[in-house]
């Protein structure tokens, strides 16, 4: 069993999606519990790459490649993960604010959050405040994550936060903000609860709120 997990962990950062899937299926056939494959195979591989990112030895592509492999393998495990009910996974709503069409950073955050077993509702790019409010009302997430790559659209964080306030939802959800031009000071200024420098730190930080 350990050998299979080790192999999964070696192949994931190389982007060998088909081989990883085959290994996952083999492990299931050999009677390895789905929870073990998830925890000791897929999620550990993500953890290793996230640590490498944090110390500067890995970069966005390796993280994305690994995360893609994980996302492809998870559906294979899902039927066996019954005991873990959908409702028990913490929910996060994520999107790029109005005025901005950039999605690479936001997608990366979504992938890292999924890797930490969050249920991620991605509302897309150029998303208006009303759509964020609607999503918060519908999915009742623990955190709503707002992304902006452009200095010109980062002011819309405040618009979303104000709209949440107005809808009476602000005290039911934490707001996290991020993007290249964002600083901790700016996050404070708009009244966000959480700011992190990158996607790995975001996933780690949100875990503390669970």
With contacts defined by CB under 8 A, name the span among 103-111, 130-138, 170-178, 202-210 that binds other proteins: 103-111
**87 is a contact residue toward other proteins (CB under 8 A):** no
Residue in 8, 11, 125, 187 binding other proteins, rule: CB under 8 A: 125
Interacting residue with other proteins among 89, 102, 137, 174 (CB under 8 A):
102
- Is there binding between residue 60 and other proteins (CB under 8 A)? yes
Does an H or E element contain 122, and which? strand 119-122
Candidates 152, 168, 189, 210: give the one binding other proteins (CB under 8 A): 152
Number of residues that bind other proteins (CB under 8 A): 27
The answer to the question of residue 198 lying near other proteins (CB under 8 A) is no
Task: Report the residue number, 22 or 101, with the smaller CB distance to other proteins.
Answer: 101
Chosen residue from 28, 43, 48, 65 binding other proteins by CB under 8 A = 65
CA 143 to chain centre: 11
User: In angstroms, what is the minimal distance from the CB of 113 to other proteins?
Assistant: 18
CB under 8 A, 24+ apart: contacts of 159-163: 159/97, 159/98, 159/129, 160/97, 160/129, 160/132, 160/133, 161/190, 161/191, 161/192, 162/129, 163/129, 163/130, 163/132, 163/133
CB of 16 to other proteins, least distance (A): 15
The encoded tokens of residue 107 equal: 């997608």
Residues near 151 by beta carbon (within 8 Å), at least 6 away in sequence: 181
Q: How far is the CB of 111 from other proteins (least distance, A)?
A: 12
Alpha-helix residue ranges (DSSP H) falling in 78-140:
104-115, 129-139
Q: Are 77 and 34 within 8 A, CB to CB?
A: yes
DSSP-derived 3-state class of residue 77: helix
Among 6, 14, 22, 59, binds other proteins (CB under 8 A): 59
> Does 17 participate in binding other proteins (rule CB under 8 A)?
no
Residue 196 in contact with other proteins, rule: CB under 8 A? no
């Amino acid at each position: 069993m350990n050998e299979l997990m080790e192999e999964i962990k070696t192949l994931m950062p190389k982007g060998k999606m088909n081989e990883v899937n085959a290994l996952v299926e083999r492990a299931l056939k050999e009677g390895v519990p789905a929870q073990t494959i998830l925890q000791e195979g897929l999620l550990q591989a993500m953890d290793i790459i996230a640590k490498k990112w944090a110390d500067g030895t890995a970069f966005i592509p390796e993280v994305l490649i690994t995360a893609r492999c994980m996302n492809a393998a998870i559906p294979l495990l899902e039927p066996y993960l019954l005991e873990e009910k959908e409702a028990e996974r913490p929910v996060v709503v994520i999107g790029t604010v109005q005025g901005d069409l950039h999605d690479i950073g936001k997608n990366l955050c979504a992938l890292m959050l999924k890797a930490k077993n969050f249920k991620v509702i991605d509302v897309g790019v150029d998303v208006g405040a009303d759509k964020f409010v609607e999503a918060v009302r519908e999915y009742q997430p623990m955190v709503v994550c707002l992304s902006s790559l452009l200095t010109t659209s980062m002011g819309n964080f405040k618009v979303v936060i104000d709209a949440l306030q107005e809808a009476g939802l602000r005290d039911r959800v934490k707001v996290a903000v991020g993007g290249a031009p964002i600083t901790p000071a700016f996050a404070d200024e708009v009244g966000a609860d959480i700011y992190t420098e990158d996607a790995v730190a975001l996933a780690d930080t949100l875990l503390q709120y669970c």
